[in-house]
């Protein structure tokens, strides 16, 4: 028994190994060798390139009000021999809406003009689709232009591809109105008159009230949002002599201010400018009239070397009776003038 047990326990351990279930096949990208991972990614990218093309956009574009904005969008054509139509579309707010700008060009020659060079209102294409340039140029950007835009492209027989570009428009503060109203400023109050100041800008401006002595009146002021990018601020208005209140709007782009009532200095400046402009226009008008008169006088004056003789034509009527009477009177005059004298031989 001891010999048998010695034989059994001294046998190689592998002869009595317990069979375990076959492990599930699993792998992770993190556990892969870096060289193998690079080869794998190259193969995947080459496979995807053969069936699609790549679009690149600027996710967000920032422009100031009044400037021109370029929404960058481009594609890389993977087939260099592609000579079919390239269709470009731009939509706003939603990718499924109808495009406000569209054009198409055949990718067969770079020498002749393409059909995407025309502009639609304030929009035009900034580049040549045959070179993969699909950027949109927006002229004179306004606050209402801010929002999402979608660049779309479609090659002949391929699925449409699109990406989003967000346009952000910055604007310096502007004071739209400053007047006294007898309406409440958002909340009930005992004040009967309010000085209301409506401002606009992006970022939304902050309104600061200043008195005649340039002291802050923020504690008395109220305000509410009166629209996108607009804010209406109010302050109680007491009718006092020499009372001047200034509305000042501020944001990161700048500031603007206006006073109520307008100062006499500003009124005088406006009057002086108006009078100066009227005087200048009157002087120009008189100068033009003098030039015209001088030109007419030069045309009517004789030349410098002497008077110029010009023939004068008139109608002469011959009356026979008048002619006979003239002859008879002449003969009588001759007869009366005959003098007789004596002659000695």
**Would you list the DSSP string of 111-140?**
SS--TT--EETTEEEES-GGGTB-EEEESS
pLDDT score for 219: 60
Q: What is the pLDDT of residue 183?
A: 76
- Three-class SS state of 26: coil
In a 13 Å sphere around the CA of 250, the CA atoms on its Cβ side amount to 5
Predicted pLDDT of residue 328? 53
Q: Tens digits of per-residue pLDDT, 223-270? A: 899 899 999 999 888 877 778 899 999 999 999 999 998 765 555 666
User: What's the confidence (pLDDT) of residue 334?
Assistant: 42
Strand partners, 207: 249
At 187, list the tokens: 């909340």
The residues with which 86 forms a beta bridge, in sequence order, are: 105, 155
User: What pLDDT sits at residue 53?
Assistant: 78
Domains (range + CATH), the chain: 54-169 (2.60.40.10), 182-264 (2.60.40.10)
**The pLDDT of residue 26:** 44
Cβ-contact 202, 229 below 8 angstroms: yes
Q: Which residue in this structure is represented by tokens 């190689």? A: 12
Could you give phi then psi for residue 45, rounded to 5 degrees? -70, -40
What are the residue ranges of helices labelled H in 301-344? 320-336
Low-confidence ranges of the chain (pLDDT < 70): 1-52, 78-80, 111-112, 114, 157, 186, 188-189, 218-220, 263-270, 296-345
Give the pLDDT score at 162.
94
Chain segment 89-114, per-residue pLDDT in tens: 999 999 999 999 999 988 877 766 76
Which residues on neighbouring strands pair with residue 256, listed in sequence order? 249
Question: Tokens 């109203």 belong to which residue?
Answer: 181
Does residue 125 contact residue 151 with C-beta atoms inside 8 Å?
A: no
Query: Is 186 in contact with 212 (CB distance < 8 Å)?
Result: no
Report how far apart, in Å, the C-alpha atoms of 257 and of each of 197, 225, 229, 236 are.
Answer: 10, 19, 17, 18
Tokens of 135: 């950027």
Closest C-alpha to 183, from 195, 166, 168: 195
CB of 220 within 8 A of CB of 234?
Answer: no
């Amino acid at each position: 028994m001891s010999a048998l047990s010695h034989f059994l326990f001294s046998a190689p351990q592998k002869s009595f190994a317990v069979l375990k279930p076959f492990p599930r096949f699993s792998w992770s990208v993190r556990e892969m060798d870096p060289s193998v991972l690079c080869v794998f990614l190259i193969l995947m990218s080459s496979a995807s390139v053969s069936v699609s093309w790549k679009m690149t956009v600027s996710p967000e574009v920032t422009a100031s009000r009044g400037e021109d904005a370029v929404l960058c969008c481009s594609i890389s054509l993977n087939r260099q021999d592609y000579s079919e139509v390239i269709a470009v579309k731009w939509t706003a707010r939603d990718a499924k809406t109808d495009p406000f700008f569209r054009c198409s060009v055949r990718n067969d020659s770079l020498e002749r003009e393409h059909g995407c060079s025309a502009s639609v209102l304030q929009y035009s294409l900034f580049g040549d689709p045959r070179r993969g340039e699909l950027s949109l140029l927006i002229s004179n950007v306004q606050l209402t232009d801010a929002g999402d835009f979608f660049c779309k492209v479609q090659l002949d027989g391929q699925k449409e591809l699109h990406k989003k570009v967000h346009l952000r428009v910055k604007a310096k503060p502007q004071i739209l109105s400053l007047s006294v109203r007898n309406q409440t400023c958002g909340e009930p109050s005992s004040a009967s008159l309010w000085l209301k100041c409506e401002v606009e800008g992006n970022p939304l401006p902050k309104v600061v009230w200043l008195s005649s002595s340039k002291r802050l009146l923020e504690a008395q002021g109220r305000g509410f949002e009166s629209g996108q990018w607009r804010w209406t601020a109010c302050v109680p208005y007491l009718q006092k002599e020499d009372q001047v209140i200034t509305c000042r709007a501020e944001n990161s782009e700048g500031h603007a201010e206006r006073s109520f009532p307008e100062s006499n200095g500003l009124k005088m400046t406006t009057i002086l400018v108006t009078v100066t402009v009227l005087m200048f226009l009157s002087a120009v008008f008189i100068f033009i009239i003098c030039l015209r008169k001088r030109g007419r006088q030069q045309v009517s004056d004789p030349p410098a070397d002497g008077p110029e003789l010009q023939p004068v034509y008139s109608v002469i009527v011959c009356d026979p009776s008048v002619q006979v009477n003239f002859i008879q009177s002449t003969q009588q005059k001759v007869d009366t003038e005959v003098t007789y004298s004596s002659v000695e031989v």
